[in-house]
Structure 1
Amino acid sequence: MKKRALINGITGQDGAYFADFLLKKGYEVHGIKRRSSLFNTQRID
């Protein structure tokens, strides 16, 4: 049976490193990322 991993924040520096590490060890890796912010920053100088 193949080992599986779920990584929160997979698009971040640590998550990407950890995903690569686990993939090299033969894991099936799935990731979760935070949705894009809806905060309007257009008026900030």
Structure 2
Amino acid sequence: MVSEADGLARLREAVDLLSDTMASHLSYEETQLVEPLARYGFH
């Protein structure tokens, strides 16, 4: 991918998309799991 003329830019876009997707997913998990885990003593 990086050997292509626009490969580095395309790779950066893919990593940014993955980063945004993971951050969104982890934020969702955090909002859903914090309260139930706190009930069992996990802080």
Do both proteins adopt the same fold according to a TM-score greater than 0.5, normalized to the shorter chain?
A: no
- Counting helix residues as a fraction of each chain, which structure ranks higher? 2
| Structure number with higher relative contact order (C-alpha < 8 Å, ≥ 6 residues apart) | 1
- Provide TM-score, normalisation by structure 2: 0.32
- Counting strand residues as a fraction of each chain, which structure ranks higher? 1
